[in-house]
Every structure is written in C-alpha cells, then in structure tokens.
Amino acid sequence: MPRRNQFTLLNFRGIPIGVDWSWFLVLFLVIWLLSGYYRDLLGSPQDSLEPYALAVVSAIAFFASILLHEIGHAITAMRNKIGTSQITLWMFGGIAALQRDPQSPGVEFRIAAAGPAVTLLLALAAIGAGAAIEGGAFWEGAVFDENASISAPVAVLVWIANINAAILVFNLLPAFPLDGGRIVRAIAWKLTGDHERATTFAARLGQGFAFVFIAIGVMLIFLGEVFSGIWLALIGWMLGSSARATVVRSELNRRLGNLSVADVMDSEPVAIPFDTTVDRALDEYFLRYRWPWFPVVDAAQRFLGLLNRGTADSVPETSRTSQTVSELLDADRESGPGDQVVSSDESIESLLGNVELRRLGGLAAVDGEGRLIGVITLEQVGRALRKAVGPADPGAGEDPRPPT
C-alpha cells in the first residue's frame, strides 16, 4: 500500500487528500473500458464523442465515491478523537491513514462501518435518481438487459449505482484489512476482550480470502478472462500481504505487552520557553545541542509546538533579537501541534503506524494537562521493539535525542 501521497489534490479539514501514481493507470483503464461499454449500450457510432464524455463523468464519479467512502472513515475517526494523517487514492481504491488505532471495539466498529454506510447512501441516491427519471428503463439497465432503451444520464446513474453496490459488497467481506474484516475484529474484540486475539483472527480470515481470490483469478486466466483474472489475483495478493503483516504486528504487540511511552521516553527533555528570542534559541539550543528541532512550551510548561532549525535560520538576522520563537510556530506546523504530541500513557504499539513519528524522528510526550514531560524518539521505539523480539543489539547506535 502507498505510504505517502505522490500528488496532493486538496485538503479536507486539514487532511491532505492525494493520489498515488497508480491511480492514473486505473483512471485511464476505467475511461477506456467504460467508453466501449457506453458505445455498446447506447448504440453510438464509432466517431461519436458521447461515450468518451460519459466515461470521463463516470470515472470521476467512481473515484469521488471512493473518496467520500474514505472521508466517512475520517470524519467518524475525528468524532472519536482520532486524527487522519492523509487520504490516498490508489489502484485498489482508497486509504484513510489514521494516526492511531482505536482504543475500544465500539470505536473500531463505528469507524469501520462509516465508509460502507456512505457507499450505501451513494448507491441508494443513484438508484432513487435513476428510478425517478426513467423507472422502467433504469431497472432494465441495472440488471444488464442488452435490449434496454435507456438515456445517457440514466445510463451513468445505473453504472454509479452498480459500482457503489459492488464497492459495498466487496468492502463488507470479512477479510482484514477490508472494512468487513475490521468489523469482524471489533466484534471479536468485544466478545473476547482481547485486541490481539481479535486482530489475529480477523487477519487469518483475510489470508483465507486472499487465497480464494488468487485461486479464482488463476482460474479466470485459464478460462480466457486474462484481465479480470490478473486483477483479482492482484487484489488477493494485496490482501494476503496486508493480512500477513497484521499477524506479525499482532504478535509483536503481544510481546510488547503494556509497555507505554512513559517507560521509554526521555523524561528530562530540553524545551525552549515561548518568549525566547530567535537569536537566543539559535545560540543556546540549536548551536549548543545540534538537534534539528526542539519543543516550545509556555510558562506553565504546556506544549505549544515544535520549532525546526530551518525555520529559525530563515529569520533575517536583523529580526532575530526581537522576534520570539512562539511567533514562528504557525509557519512551522506542517501537521499541527496535535500531531506532534503523544500522551505519556499511550502504548508503544500505538506509535508503530504514526506517520509524524517517522517524519520528525520524535514526538513530544505530554500529561493529561498538556504539559511537556518527555520526548520519545524513533530510535527509542526501535530499541523497545528490538528488545521485544530478541536480545538487545549492543551496536544499535546512540540515542539521537537532545542531551539533557
């Protein structure tokens, strides 16, 4: 699965929405296949541009449907106090990258079910609009009647309804990491009270479905349906890879046990007071410790944000003695201060998929009042993982956190 957006299209409530390079390939294939579908359905002549126009509209509607599906996940996660780092469209659909895993089966269920709920509403809306415009012709087109007499707009609504129905059915398959698999995990988690057992169970189901998809794909190839067979086999391979990775991660989480951020963080972090001038910050912090960023705190030690060396260096020398570091934070926030912190009582496991930890190399650890009480680095998390999976490596390298 893609890790980062290759091309950012827009932002929704601070969430970058973009596409992976593979999306362009699928966009081309969808338009190419649909142009032939509409030409045959409507009986258009070979030189008509109408089938291509309808194919473009349908392709846009298809990816808009996937995007709205992922936004449904993101909004529900937001309402449950879980941020979304990015939404990416790629060759197999869309991914809403949550900043952390849900902490209860109820939250897991709500977030997983939100996407299919949006898809169901889109399918019903297309069905309602098509039936209202051309009731009989719409239903004939919906069941792929080759003799259906249907107008171009209703033909598009038929395709939108059918594709959203297909997306809904596919996503509700109990195959982790599909939404259906996540719903199964939430139910198993609720019944057993054990998140890791529930995850392993759902992932094993995902592996089973992956084998089925690959087997059907191979069979289709031998039957002459080469494109469909290859596509289904690729989906199976993707599901199997994700499910296997989930099983490995679940075992790792079990070994980590109840290890929390507070257990491995630097509990005496170096922080820059908010009213420090840029000149002092460069001399007394960046030049002295040579760390690429420092947390900035207010008078009550509440975390305000991270200040990067590059941002401080960009201030003109004539302004460095009068400008304070707090004035630089807004310009320095790629993701916002909430993405740069972690609660000290959070588990180490919750950081394994943290995008900002990988990007920054570390996060500020705060208490329940938002006061800075530590810094946890990627190296410290890695050390905890190495200790969980085997004996510590004495040559692992030094901790890159700021000296105290």
Q: Which of 283, 271, 288 has the alpha carbon at shortest distance from 362?
A: 271
Type of residue at 301: Q
Contacts 24+ apart (CB under 8 A), 211-220: 211/236, 211/240, 212/236, 213/239, 214/240
The pTM of this model reads 0.70
H-helix segments, 223-337: 226-256, 261-264, 278-281, 287-289, 309-313, 329-332
Closest CA to 303 of 260, 271, 258, 259: 271
Taking a C-beta distance cutoff of 8 angstroms, is the pair 88, 63 a contact?
no
Q: Give 403's DSSP letter.
A: P
Per domain, the residue ranges of the chain are: 7-256, 261-389
Position 380 scores a pLDDT of 84
The reported pLDDT for the residue numbered 338 is: 56
Q: What are phi and psi of 307, to 5 degrees?
A: -110, 125
User: What CATH superfamily classification does 261-389 receive?
Assistant: CBS-domain (3.10.580.10)
Distance CA 191, CA 202 (A): 13
Looking at residue 259, what is its pLDDT? 78
Confidence (pLDDT) at 99: 77
Which residue spans within 159-300 are E strands per DSSP? 272-273, 293-297
In this prediction, residue 121 carries a pLDDT of 97
pLDDT computed for residue 6 by the predictor: 65
Three-state DSSP at 365 gives strand
Which DSSP helix (H) or strand (E) runs through 115?
helix 105-133
* Residue keyed to tokens 């075992």: 251
Mean pLDDT by 10 residues, the chain (404 residues): 66 88 87 87 82 92 94 94 88 84 91 96 93 78 67 88 93 92 95 90 92 94 89 89 82 73 86 93 91 90 90 90 86 54 79 76 86 88 76 45 42
